[in-house]
Amino acid sequence: MGVSYSGRFDVIVVGVGGMGSATAYHLARRGRRVLGLERFGIPHAMGSSHGHTRIIRMAYYEDPSYVPLIVRAYELWRELQRTAGEKLLYTTGSIDAGPPESWVFKGSWDSCKLHDLPHEVLTGAEVRRRYPGYRLPPETAALVQPDGGFLVPERCIVSYATAAQALGAEFHAHERVLEWEPLHGGVRVRTGRGTYEADKMVVTAGAWDGQLLGFLGGLAVPERQVLAWLQPLRPERFRLDNFPVFNLLVEEGRYYGFPVFGVPGFKFGKYHHLEEATDPETVDREVHDRDENLLRAFAERYFPEGAGPTMNLQTCMFTNTPDHHFVMDLHPEYEQVSFASPCSGHGFKFASVVGEIMADLAEKGTTRHPISPFRLERLLRPGARRAPGPDAGRDGAVRPFPRAGAVSPPW
């Protein structure tokens, strides 16, 4: 392409998706000279930060330890809306539902009680009467939390990148990082277009984290994911005002979905889809009949009036840790390097606060945020336990974080 660059910066951010764009903004806001390097476009549809909508929810069945972070994430998303002058966060309410003893329902209920979040508990029959697009089994237990909704991910990334540029940050898209090396008091990064040095480096490269940080091999595993958009047969039942976003545990697995927004179709997917571990360089980006059939069968059973003709099918990637929880930390050998994982398929909603955390770690190696449960060390312990993931039962019998009610994690 004939373009070459070089330069010295305070911080280099590798990967300008949801978390990288937020990190660059928070650093630039603090007066740091920032370079953001992105191997694709800004934004792009090759990783984990696309798809028109991403769920955000206060009730957090994965563990109550996430709730303080999500409270701050909401504050920062609303701050970004004001800065950008456009709506990025839409409130629809959220439903977390499953069998009464399931970890999805009980975990959400526990987090609401522990953190005093407004909520209601409904049966499947009551959900159907209130939100007629739903057809949950009558015995289902559903936690309804009014603050849930969704973010518009591509616009969030653009808004953070634009705001960071206005503060002096520099971004280079279509510039792949080939290698990096530690220096005394800094790092050197070589790309296909140049060589740069900086005091600090932050890696937020999603599914490519493991390629850039060897110690994440086997600890940050990309997984192919597929989403469907189906035309509702009764579109009036899938609007923003009467169709909350959902997380639903049923006998077919764990699913999530959204009202119609932005593009035609009721959007939904299955967590961990076909459980296909992959390589980000060779992931199958085509959508096949088996993908569509799996998703359509779910919609026909639980959202039959949303199961009309297919409008779109897309792939993306999760990147899973062994326990399906986040990992955010300093490099185990080089304290001038910090990193954040793409968070096992439930991270975009936290991108705003993760950006703040990563800016803290880059500046001073610590943060005021409660991230001790998300440190790397826990994954390196012998016998580290798994969180409920694709292999978890309906009762969520495996769980590495403290049970609800334990205010402080044990690590």
Per annotation, catalytic residue among 23, 53, 191, 278: 53
Instruction: Measure the CA–CA gap between 215 and 147, rounded to whole angstroms.
Output: 37
Catalytic status, residue 267? yes
* CA neighbor of 118 nearest in space, from 91, 139, 151, 87: 91
Q: How many other C-beta atoms lie within 10 A of the C-beta of residue 240?
A: 15
Per annotation, catalytic residue among 155, 267, 270, 273: 267
- Bridge pairing between strands 34-37 and 170-172: parallel
Per annotation, catalytic residue among 272, 273, 324, 325: 272
Instruction: Measure the CA–CA gap between 231 and 235, rounded to whole angstroms.
Output: 8
Q: Residue 329: in which H helix or E strand, if any?
A: strand 328-330
Phi-psi bin for 301: left (phi > 0), alpha (psi -120 to 50), beta?
A: alpha
Q: Is residue 278 within 8 Å of 324, Cβ to Cβ? A: no
Catalytic status, residue 190? no
Catalytic status, residue 52? no
Per annotation, catalytic residue among 316, 319, 325, 378: 316
Per annotation, catalytic residue among 29, 32, 52, 54: 54
* CA neighbor of 343 nearest in space, from 69, 149, 96: 69
Per annotation, catalytic residue among 26, 32, 50, 115: 50
Catalytic status, residue 316? yes
Instruction: Measure the CA–CA gap between 212 and 233, rounded to whole angstroms.
Output: 46
Catalytic status, residue 367? no
* CA neighbor of 254 nearest in space, from 294, 286, 218: 294
Per annotation, catalytic residue among 26, 273, 349, 378: 349
Q: How many other C-beta atoms lie within 10 A of the C-beta of residue 72?
A: 17
* CA neighbor of 396 nearest in space, from 275, 271, 273: 271
Among all residues, which ones are annotated catalytic? Answer: 50, 53-54, 267, 272, 316, 349
